[in-house]
A and B are shown apart, each in its own frame.
Chain A
Amino acid sequence: MITINEPDDVFGLAVVNLLSPFFEEEKFQKKLKKWKKIIVVDLIDLYTFSLTFNNGDITVDYGGKDKYNLKLIIGFDTFMDIAEGQVGLIPAFLRGKVKVKKIYNIFTVLKFITILIPALKRATSKELPEGLYKVF
């Protein structure tokens, strides 16, 4: 059973929307069952929020944390490009558009990627109704 809090900030609400469709999936439950990590996302020029994974309980908070296992520093435009699938997280990292603190926690990095990317893909891959185009 996966639980998530009701965050009060805008991107926190987005995180709930992104992750909650997976909560019923056994694979996702297994992935988070014994995972205790704190991940900080610093959206440059916007604000920072944190995800605390605690054995299946997820908490999203406004602001950073003093102690964390992983910190992603990413511009809003890059984040949206990744969300739309226009650029991959790893290529963006290699180009210096995503910075990672405590990258030596490689298993945490990889596991978080397997959580974040499918969630973004699932959310943004819906077809638009007839007549609407993503022109950007």
Chain B
Amino acid sequence: MTDVINMKKESGKKRNVFENMPKEKVVEELEKIVGKEYVSDKPHDLYPYSYDMTEADPLMPDIIVIPGTTEEISEIVKLCNGNKIPIVPYVTGNNVGALTLPEQGGIICDMGKRMKKVIAVNESMRYAIIEPGVTFGEFRKYLDDNHPDLKYAYPLAPPYASVTMNAILAGETNIPIHGTMADWINGLEVVLNNGDIVRTGSCFISKEFKEDNWFYRQSIPDLTGLFICWQGLTGIVTKCAVQLWPKLKYNTALAVIMYGSEACAELQHEMGRTGCCYDISAINVEIVKMLFDKVNPKKFANEPDWAMLLSIEGQTKEILEAKVKHVKDVFKKLKEKHPRIFLTSYYTFADLMGPTINQVYDLPNMISLMYRYNGITWVGSYANPDNFAPLMDECMDLYKIHEMEPFFYMKSMKSGHYSLFRVITRYDKNKDLEKVKILQSELLEVLLDYDCVPDKIPVWVAKRLRDKCDPNWFKLLERVKKAMDPNNIFNPGKMDL
């Protein structure tokens, strides 16, 4: 068993944030940049930024600043860099990795309140340039209202989660056939440590900002990668160009219920490899019951173990039907090997179960089961689909040992190239916190044993990775961080840097 202490914040690391400029003076300078009403160091304003729903210990920031423009952020970063003050980019703070809790205190730069513009949508090349504060709910409404033939894709995150932050953290979506959201980034605008504002991707080609050249990322060094999954350690992203997708006119969804982790693992992978399914999401059957507000749902011996959603789209009805036929043919072959798998229309299944079930289908949505308690956490990962069956079994055993509700969320990504594997734990912070920390650390060990790559990693996971992974990978990570942020002002402490 991994020592739980690994997951706790080490004491004595708090840095002297205001050794170069007194706090009062910093507040004054920030007020000059953004205006008095957008800066606060009052405890009641700071408090909501000090915790999240995970098991992480609360960490209080010193000051909150709410900028309205990239130029303001540039000035704020110059102030921080000149005085070695930590600055943590923040939008809605609902990530499940404690990524915006200030490890070393300092300033929270909240872009979620005023930087909420959809700057441009290019219908021809299908991308949008957005500010960090644009949420999934707002983005969906904006596209539905103004560009009804285009769509973005949505994760299980609530509608108030930030599109940009999910994209730069490689978030999952409900069209994983195209990969993670990070795969869809065409370019970024970023404020660097010295206050420089840089554009990455094809938009670098013009000296001035233009709306119509954010279409591509490769054939030049992919500097966008310096900011993807870096958790704000290298700069503050202030604009993001995301690819959009056509709304195909013909859509259907199939549901599968099945027994056994081997069947579930193989079915996910093979359905992914058909290339016909835009989404292949699998969950354990207990989640269906959680949707009906069941607490600690029983799993009866002969009930199915897993349920799966297959979402299929087509430009024409004929294409849709051809895809469904291929999926059914592949399914039929798999059924010879795994007789206890059952395919049906998702819509009929949903009709039988009732509208509650559609919470996980019609995204973005406030999925009630996620907020049953005051705590939710996970060990998220992208994984090798060939390892899925034993991985599922071993993680399920851990949930049983710790008497916690199992919550598995899995997807086949990019037509079977890889998979998403998330073990989520909803819990009562007042009752189960210590138990959850142990469970989390044990789940991580299982995931690492099967070469899963952690996702949105909290500090305690990064520490474990240091012991486990290629040491030169960490050395390179440190070199890049040092080059990009020699004063260690950007979200210091995250990724154990």
Contacts and interface: CB of A to CB of B under 8 A. Distances in A.
B303 A76 contact: no
A38 interface: no
B348 A84 contact: yes
A10 B288 contact: yes
A9 B285 CA distance: 10
Contact of B252 (A62, A83, A126, A132): A132
B254 A83 contact: no
A104 interface: no
A11 to B, nearest CB: 8
Given A10-B285, A134-B348, 11 more contacts: A9-B303, A18-B352, A46-B257, A47-B300, A76-B342, A80-B348, A123-B351, A124-B348, A132-B251, A134-B252, A134-B347
Contact of B352 (A8, A62, A124, A135): A124
Contacts of A123: 351-352
Interface string B133-161: 00000000000000000000000000000
25 contacts: A8-B300, A9-B298, A9-B300, A13-B289, A13-B354, A14-B353, A17-B354, A18-B352, A46-B303, A46-B304, A47-B300, A47-B302, A48-B302, A63-B300, A77-B344, A123-B351, A123-B352, A132-B251, A132-B252, A133-B251, A133-B252, A135-B345, A136-B254, A136-B324, A136-B345
A13 B292 contact: yes
B113 interface: no
Contacts of B292: 13
Interface residues of A, number: 29
A126 B345 CA distance: 14
Nearest to B304: A46
What are the 10 closest A-B residue pairs judged by CB atoms, nearest first?
A17-B354, A47-B302, A136-B345, A135-B252, A124-B351, A14-B352, A123-B351, A80-B344, A8-B298, A135-B324
Contacts of A84: 345, 348
Interface string A62-79: 110000000000001100
A132 B353 contact: no
A128 B302 CA distance: 32
Interface residues of B, number: 36
Interface of A: 8-10, 13-14, 17-18, 45-48, 62-63, 76-77, 80, 83-84, 120, 123-124, 126, 128, 131-136
A73 to B, nearest CB: 15
Interface in B282-302: 285, 288-289, 292, 294, 297-298, 300, 302
Contact of A77 (B252, B289, B342, B347): B342
Given A133-B250, A136-B344, A47 B353 contact: no
B345 A80 contact: yes
A13 B307 CA distance: 15
Contacts of A124: 348, 351-352
A17 B350 CA distance: 10
A83 B297 CA distance: 26
Contacts of B345: 80, 84, 134-136
B294 A131 contact: no
B320 interface: yes
B317 interface: yes
Contacts of A80: 344-345, 348-349
B14 interface: no
Contact of A17 (B300, B312, B317, B353): B353
B183 interface: no
B251 A131 contact: yes
B254 A10 contact: no
Nearest to A76: B342
B353 to A, nearest CB: 5
A131 B342 contact: no
B249 interface: yes
Contacts of B8: none
